[in-house]
Structure 1
């Protein structure tokens, strides 16, 4: 109608504005509530992250992660799976039956495999988009949604955090929190793994140190012992409790890399090496028993001195008498010339014997002595060796006591002759005051035993085995008193063993008994 204006009924505009104000206030309150809840969850996430990063036990970290999952994401249950080659293993769960822990499934057909192929960091699966009944998570009654986020350790996928929902829907906030928690879980797991690797390495180092044959000690900057392994205790006789916190019980090298040798109270020689640890100011001290090497060095030095002396004596005599013959041939006369030649021959034989022993000793030490083994008449060999044996300057001969029908033995008659000759030579040599030297043979069940007994100076107690070593003769004074190069008994034992026999030394009062055994031959003595 003309002049009529269409509009709202009276009061309608005010009512609409009121409803709009109420709606706006409700929306503002809802947004404010969401922001407050988001802030609370973020603060809680920060606390959870700090909590899991403070723990270095791998399983404890995993359980803390899944335990906080339901609080942060509103999930009804959850779990964490690890990648193991081409499979997944459920290693931590919350609000699920414990029998599921340890369950394994193929990675390829899993939701985690689908997530990795997509290249994303989170995945949401619902019963509207796919069936969830074939998954292990279906044990949660009413399961309708699964959200999962990948956890990377050192830049590579390590596992996934699963959030399971049966009573509520999932929005972007929950997915965002799941993604953040999974990412922080990867960092915490990486830290726990690194810590456990350090612990494992240290445990391995402790095992290596404790099982080392060398003594190993760690000395701090003040010179006090901080670590003392089992070998250190065995080498020195000091337990860790006796030395830790105290100075080392032996001198340390003045320079890094320098070796020193020190004799401790027990008489054992230690070789000590010290290495600095720049980061801590500590020193690692490595020490080992070099008593045998030290003794060998001393024996070698004494051997060289002894050989020089022993060789010089016959050489000097040969040179002297040869020079005399050349310069005074006519003046000496027939008798004088014969005497000089006899002396040269005698000294040459002595020299030859010394050189032969040196060669035998060298062969025995390098490759062992060989023997041509077969059955032979030991009784006959004993009579020949003892009968032909003449000790220069002595009128007495060895007393021989051998059964008429002594069983044959298996061995080498040439090697046996050397063995018996050396044993008889030693018996007379180390009996400067005289006394009876007796050779006896007796048949045993499987062997024939030969003993050479004397009434000489004897063997010091405890040296019964030592006398068979190379370049060993007893005390240094005896070496000078009786001469020789200390290879005789070493060669004797090597020759005895080369035949399948054995030789041993036994102290007696007075003198020494040497026992030499060979195996009985299978055939009777009449063969």
Structure 2
């Protein structure tokens, strides 16, 4: 086979072309300027390469960019326009614009092919009118792009349609799935707004199926009466152009004519306006989405229980949510523009615990925002967790101390009996066994308190319910304390006609005994201890008074917490593990009553309430079914004088 001679290269074709060929990249810089372009416009190739082409008049820049955008969407766009020569003379040209992509589909730029018009088909008046329309298009585009609110942009597009194209009325329809919805209109009845119709069978559907960007429909080629646009009397022509957002059809502009005839200029202007409308709508939609996401993110931040702050590169607060203000006590206006009112962790991934001025503990975590230098600070209230840690540590220390003494005594006396039984007389043996029994009882009651406290904490504490003689219970409990201390005087004020109580007598015995024990223990210098009982408003009230160290102001509720003593500054002065009043209040509330305490005038008063008993009646706690687990069935009814149960 005879080899064929190679054909001319693309460069040779461009160089030998009689048409001026100018190629620009995506930044509008000249990449190709053939000899015919030099002859037509007067600039040499070396003068223009790498720079924007100097041939487009200022008033036609918008038109040129619109044509290039249309070419980007596919196909070659041809227009008649004007260009500037190097000597300043305007020449009439026909411009064919195409968009270029390489073999991989990467965008390369545009190619413009120019042919000078010498046949008079583009008179100066036509170009002057075109320039006027282009300037007006610039104004319209600036107007519709001046707002980022979607509804406002749609309304501006509809208003600009009639003004620019000379249409008698118009509107913008939006694609919603397989239907169209009229979302804005001008010079039409307002009741048409919101009208929907199927996409299939519509002019818009026909336009999309054709692959074109504009469509002209007249009464000569179809019936217009069945369209919603028939609201315009005398309607004879409908022109519509596609508005695309991010390369996908979003809606269409409808220009309605009932008077003037429609030509290619109106169609071209409609096409340009539809293209620019797509850009403006894309911006509005992007802004709307940004606002939505920002609002969504702000709602998440505002509703977060964690304090959240955004710091700029200098470490100053830019955002300070509601939880941050509540946790720190610092309002937003006092913090924004300043460093946060707490230290930050040294390492971004390591949390830091810090005690605020108000006594609240927070855990602080910092995360950097990539690429901005900003940091997000998340901090949460860990006061309860911190207190729980301290409670655990305190419990381990105090429980160990409280257990050590009786265990050591029991162990010592038991060892003595084992090793020296034969050398001890009967009296010594009995004393040793008695001591072991007493200390074992102390251990048993200490363990019992721990078990009751655990049940109360977990909500599993339950007590019995029934009528019992509160007067007799108080007298028997008080009798066991009467000789407990020579420095104290125990007085009773319990009327003979006191009605029966409704509740659990064993649990009530524990409560009264604990209140009496605290009264004796926390008045180490002696004094009067008074137990008074009364009926008040259908309830029975028991008050235990002492003249001891008292309850510090502000601690009236704290003393009922776990592992808390009335005098927190010296735990070892009174001993105990701090569960006494915690258990007392839980037992009282389980019976439908309560326990409170306060000090006034040097006298501490602990007030215990119970329901008044009715034979066969039941307490509110029993009516509710209790807490679900048997109550302190092992609770001893005799007074616990030896156990350490701090207030």
Is contact 2:137–2:164 with CA below 8 Å preserved after alignment? yes
1:121 deviation in Å?
Answer: 4.2
Pick one of 260, 279, 287 that aligns with 1:187. Answer: 279
> Does 1:225 pair with 2:326?
no
Alpha-carbon separation, structure 2, partners of 1:490 and 1:375: 25
Pick one of 290, 293, 299 that aligns with 1:201. Answer: 293
Secondary structure class of the residue paired with 2:193: coil
**Residues 193-215 of structure 1, C-alpha deviations (whole Å, 9 max, x = no match):** 11111122223333333343332
1:386 deviation in Å?
Answer: 2.3
The aligned runs of 1:285-324 (5 Å cut-off) are: 285-324=377-416
Name which of structure 1's ranges 282-291 and 442-451 shifts more when overlaid on structure 2: 282-291
Alpha-carbon separation, structure 1, partners of 2:433 and 2:122: 131
Residues 476 and 445 of structure 1: CA distance in aligned 2, closer, same or farther (over 3 Å): closer
Structure number having the greater helix percentage: 1
Secondary structure class of the residue paired with 2:516: helix
Alpha-carbon separation, structure 2, partners of 1:87 and 1:375: 77
Length, aligned pairs only: 500
Alpha-carbon separation, structure 2, partners of 1:392 and 1:519: 30
What is the RMSD of the two structures over their aligned residues, measured on CA atoms?
A: 2.9
> Does 1:489 pair with 2:581?
yes
TM-score scaled to structure 2, two decimals?
Answer: 0.71
> Does 1:247 pair with 2:339?
yes
Alpha-carbon separation, structure 2, partners of 1:442 and 1:195: 73
Residues 391 and 297 of structure 1: CA distance in aligned 2, closer, same or farther (over 3 Å): farther
Secondary structure class of the residue paired with 2:170: strand
Pick one of 152, 170, 183 that aligns with 1:78. Answer: 170
5+ residue gaps, structure 1, are 1-24
1:393 deviation in Å?
Answer: 5.3
Alpha-carbon separation, structure 2, partners of 1:524 and 1:353: 32
Secondary structure class of the residue paired with 1:257: coil
Secondary structure class of the residue paired with 1:328: helix
The aligned runs of 1:7-46 (5 Å cut-off) are: 28-29=120-121, 37=129, 41=133, 45=137
- 1:105 is aligned to 196
Is contact 1:459–1:511 with CA below 8 Å preserved after alignment? no
Is contact 1:219–1:282 with CA below 8 Å preserved after alignment? yes
Alpha-carbon separation, structure 1, partners of 2:211 and 2:586: 77
5+ residue gaps, structure 2, are 1-116, 618-647
Is contact 1:90–1:100 with CA below 8 Å preserved after alignment? no
**Residues 72-93 of structure 1, C-alpha deviations (whole Å, 9 max, x = no match):** 4332221112234565443322
- 1:518 is aligned to 610
> Does 1:126 pair with 2:223?
no
> Does 1:271 pair with 2:363?
yes
Is contact 1:368–1:494 with CA below 8 Å preserved after alignment? no
- 1:338 is aligned to 430
TM-score scaled to structure 1, two decimals?
Answer: 0.86
Is contact 1:87–1:104 with CA below 8 Å preserved after alignment? no
1:465 deviation in Å?
Answer: 0.8
1:117 deviation in Å?
Answer: 6.0
> Does 1:91 pair with 2:145?
no
Name which of structure 1's ranges 417-426 and 229-238 shifts more when overlaid on structure 2: 229-238
**Residues 304-359 of structure 1, C-alpha deviations (whole Å, 9 max, x = no match):** 11111101111111111111222222333222221111111111111111111111
Is contact 1:436–1:455 with CA below 8 Å preserved after alignment? yes
> Does 1:434 pair with 2:522?
no
